[in-house]
Amino acid sequence: VAELGTPTRSVITTCAYCGVGCSFKAELNGDQLVRMVPWKHGKANRGHSCVKGRFAYGYAAHRDRILRPMIRERIEDPWREVEWDEALAFAAERMRAIQARHGRRSVGVITSSRCTNEETYLVQKLARAVFGNNNTDTCARVCHSPTGYGLGKTFGTSAGTQDFDSVEQTDVVLIIGANPTDGHPVFASRLKKRLRAGARLIVVDPRRTDIVRSAHVEADHHLPLRPGTNVAVISAMAHVIVTEGLMDEGFIRDRCDWNEFLHFAEFIRDPRHAPEATEALTGVPAADLRAAARLFATGGNGAIYYGLGVTEHSQGSTTVMAIANLAMLTGNIGRPGVGVNPLRGQNNVQGACDMGSFPHELPGYRHVKLPDVRAIFEKAWGVEIDPEPGLRIPNMLDAAVEGTFRGLYCQGEDILQSDPDTQHVAAALAAMDCVIVHDLFLNETANYAHVFLPGSSFLEKDGTFTNAERRINRVRRVMAPRNGYEDWQVTQMLANAMGAGWHYTHPSQIMAEIAATTPSFAGVTYERLEELGSVQWPCNEDAPEGTPLMHVDGFQAGRGHFMVTEYVPTDERTGPRFPLLLTTGRILSQYNVGAQTRRTDNTAWHPEDLLEMHPHDAENRGIAEGDWVRLASRSGETTLRVAVTDRVLPGVVYTTFHHPVTQANVVTTDFSDWATNCPEYKVTAVQVSPSNGP
Ligand code: SF4
């Protein structure tokens, strides 16, 4: 700060890392950003922040930023810097040629949960209104797509039910497959404050995360399950609640479909779901499971928070539905202190899903097959919309290898690093005729690109992000885009190069179009956001100031739907060659594949990914703390150092995936959630052996 001088002005904006959505005051000296100060009036953070939002913004000025467009004929050729017009004309011509030769469904887009709502809306519109197909998907595919499916089926809408304030009235917190201290630090602080004030805590996680035992907080029950058995554990809890008569029958009769409940109750009463019957499978002692179920059902207001440890499984969607069943069974929906709350990983994963990024849904989670929904957008956009759902990311990649999908516009997403089975992703990208990467940096995916369009950072754009509590926060331009254009402008220029004729001059106009076409956003305007600071959707005539709590008088779906959630083991099995189970997660100072945080001083806190291994497993292999090891699976292998710790169970190893040199996804499998294709990152059979290093 001393070097940069005294701030002379400030701009309020929103952190671009996790789904908490903290508000910051960006303080500038002239055009020079001096510091980011957590904003005390931010409704999601109230003046608090973590080391990412507070310090890890230097990537925006990093020398690795690419500021001029580049093109090349073939991926073997060197990049050639060109003017924007030439790059866009080159990209448009290639995409047109592909469609002329292989049909309109041979190209598609991938939107980013890092970009604003307005940018995401335009990218899916590019696919639907310009390319003429529904080949649009988002990186939520690899994180919270099962939330969309599971909560949609049970409650009728894909969103967390509560605001963050709600936790202050919670009596029992159930955390499943989430590590809020590292993943959602500012919310974790609020959670811990409530726990210190007396709320009880149950944690379902194969690893002893910080929230299980930390200063002044200790879980009443830690259920350290075997990775891949979430459904069996939650079903066992539901079994105890139903067979011991602990359910909230009044709530179920008033609010849920009674016949579906009876069907579910008959299913869950079966002795195969009893904790004693599942103990050997899940590894969780039956007595602990019974005690946890009784506490959740009888301890007062019960709130469930979950993360990617729930969704990134072959039964991710089933687990989300099992969680929703548990909340309905105990009457924990529709009032403060209760609810089902997916902790969204990325700053705008909620918004990316809301904005129609999925290949089967238009904005507002409305199926593309519905003629009346298509008609709304056809009128607004002046085009005919393809009634056939498009391809999901894994389907795009498979089709590329087969030769039927040949062009991709990928905004703000490094699929080569973030998607499973790296070799398959590389083969798919290499098979395409036109890959357009729109990003801040020449990421790993760009190695296979023909066109590189420079992106703008969150400091350089106007727009909105929607956080994990459905809160729409303003993102405000702090400085001019270093590349010359905000991302929504680049998408518009690409659309126009293909003949679209779009003429937005500010993201507020895009939001006006979203509001006009999407009922849950009908009352959202930039003026209202200025007036209220932020609003939580649904925001419309019925709720002009937004909706902090969902499903208060009735579910979005009318009545709540109990779903039968049978446990089906993953096809990924341990065996003599691969006897350990690998699971993955994040660390506080770093973020996802590290594209941003690795380009900041935060790297000093976590310079490399480590493999956590139980002392027994390490000793059996002659491995000591800090040793290099080879981590191998049926898919591939990588090399990293070991941290010997009893935070993980014997038979389980754990690593983060922040550093490209580790390439943790080289070893992950291509198994995925049965309903949504969300990859099963959390269960990989592996072997670990000593190594001399990379
Ligand atoms: Fe940013 Fe999340 Fe940290 Fe808040 S908690 S500062 S939103 S990374």
- If one residue of 12, 13, 20, 191 were mutated to test the ligand 1 pocket, choosing by the most ligand atoms within 8 A of its CB, it would be 20
Predicted pLDDT of residue 567: 96
| DSSP structure class, residue 475 | E
What's the pLDDT tens digit per position in 475-512?
999 999 999 999 999 999 999 999 999 999 999 999 99
Torsion of CA 52, 462, 160, 173, to 10 degrees: 30
Tokens of 634: 């049926």
CB 640 within 8 A of CB 629: yes
Residue 691 phi, psi dihedral angles, 5° rounding: -145, 160
CA–centroid distance, 587 to ligand 1, in Å, is 13
What is the rounded average pLDDT of the residues 147-151? 92
| Closest listed residue to residue 689, CA positions, set 626, 624, 629 | 629
What's the pLDDT tens digit per position in 301-317?
999 999 989 998 899 99
Binning pLDDT at 50, 70 and 90, where does residue 157 land? Answer: confident
CA–centroid distance, 44 to ligand 1, in Å, is 10
CA–centroid distance, 22 to ligand 1, in Å, is 5
CB 102 within 8 A of CB 406: yes
Q: How many other C-beta atoms lie within 10 A of the C-beta of residue 647?
A: 18
Tokens of 675: 């309903």
Question: CB-hemisphere CA count at 13 Å for 237?
Answer: 33
Predicted pLDDT of residue 53: 85
Lay out the sheet containing 451-454: strands in order across.
80-81, 70-71, 451-454, 434-439, 407-411, 107-111, 136-138
Binning pLDDT at 50, 70 and 90, where does residue 61 land? Answer: confident
| Nearest ligand 1 atom, CA 45 | 4
Q: How far are the Cα atoms of 261, 268, 358 from residue 295, in angstroms, in the given order?
A: 22, 19, 38
Buried/exposed 490-509: b ≥16 CB within 10 Å, e otherwise = bbbbbbebbebebebeebbe
Q: How far are the Cα atoms of 304, 518, 521 from residue 343, in angstroms, in the given order?
A: 10, 24, 21
| Nearest ligand 1 atom, CA 21 | 7
Q: How many other C-beta atoms lie within 10 A of the C-beta of residue 667?
A: 25
Q: How far are the Cα atoms of 113, 196, 343 from residue 305, in angstroms, in the given order?
A: 20, 17, 7
| Closest listed residue to residue 53, CA positions, set 596, 460, 577, 512 | 596
Task: Output the ligand 1 site: residues, CB below 6 A.
Answer: 15, 17-18, 20-22, 45, 49-50, 52-53, 184-186
**Predicted ipTM of the assembly:** 0.99
Predicted pLDDT of residue 470: 94
Does the pLDDT of residue 610 top 80, yes or no?
yes
- Helix H or strand E encompassing 497: helix 487-497
| Nearest ligand 1 atom, CA 20 | 7
CA–centroid distance, 50 to ligand 1, in Å, is 5
Does the pLDDT of residue 602 top 90, yes or no?
no
Does the pLDDT of residue 2 top 60, yes or no?
no
CA–centroid distance, 471 to ligand 1, in Å, is 14
| Nearest ligand 1 atom, CA 591 | 8
What's the pLDDT tens digit per position in 325-376?
999 999 999 999 999 999 887 889 999 999 999 999 999 999 999 999 999 9
CB 204 within 8 A of CB 175: yes
CA–centroid distance, 588 to ligand 1, in Å, is 10
- If one residue of 37, 45, 57 were mutated to test the ligand 1 pocket, choosing by the most ligand atoms within 8 A of its CB, it would be 45
Does the pLDDT of residue 658 top 70, yes or no?
no
